[in-house]
Chains A and B, each alone.
Chain A
Amino acid sequence: EAGVAQSPRYKIIEKRQSVAFWCNPISGHATLYWYQQILGQGPKLLIQFQNNGVVDDSQLPKDRFSAERLKGVDSTLKIQPAKLEDSAVYLCASSLGQSGYTFGSGTRLTVV
């Protein structure tokens, strides 16, 4: 079974620039999550999708972050404009029902 794919693996941008991350979940997993993990901290949930609908985006900074999951499969997370404090690893995960989550390797974002 293929895992959760994320790209790019690393990204360095200047503050105020835009960036987008891509995630391809495990085939058949209806639920997809984006987490932000700042160095030394645990993952923080940004948004949860069920198929192509948003279930929970209460912790997503909507003034600069946006996410979509077209056709209920792949998802993109965008930051526009980026701030220094957005430097973190962005993790995508997927799950089926009440099972454990499968995480991707993440995208490490550095904002300079």
Chain B
Amino acid sequence: SQQGEEDPQALSIQEGENATMNCSYKTSINNLQWYRQNSGRGLVHLILIRSNEREKHSGRLRVTLDTSKKSSSLLITASRAADTASYFCGTGANNLFFGTGTRLTVIP
């Protein structure tokens, strides 16, 4: 399978806490991308990390990539109720394959 697999499947936290979700993959990648999907909407691109990068930041998001372990993590700091969504990692060489996602619920 070329797709990434997100873990955990579901995560529920209080507003203000940090949320960490993980992605594992099996094949070689050029880059790994994280997306957010609100209910009934399309996916929104959050961050792209290239295979030669180890860590990347964007606002409250921090992504790490360990190509030796074929894994990545997405950290959302100081979570807000508006962060409630499903999060997917996209992996692949020339196109993106997605897992089933992590459903994050942030409780106000």
Contacts and interface: CB of A to CB of B under 8 A. Distances in A.
Interface of A: 4, 33, 40-45, 48, 55-56, 91, 93, 98-106, 108
A104 B45 CA distance: 11
A102 B95 contact: no
Nearest to A47: B95
Contacts of B33: 100-101
Interface residues of B, number: 22
Contact of B43 (A41, A48, A91, A99): A91
Contacts, number: 52
Contact of B45 (A33, A41, A101, A106): A101
Nearest to A91: B42
B82 interface: no
Interface of B: 3, 30-31, 33, 35, 40-45, 48, 88, 90, 94-101
Shortest 8 CB-CB distances between A and B: which pairs? Answer: A100-B45, A103-B42, A42-B98, A103-B43, A105-B42, A42-B100, A43-B98, A48-B95
B94 A101 contact: no
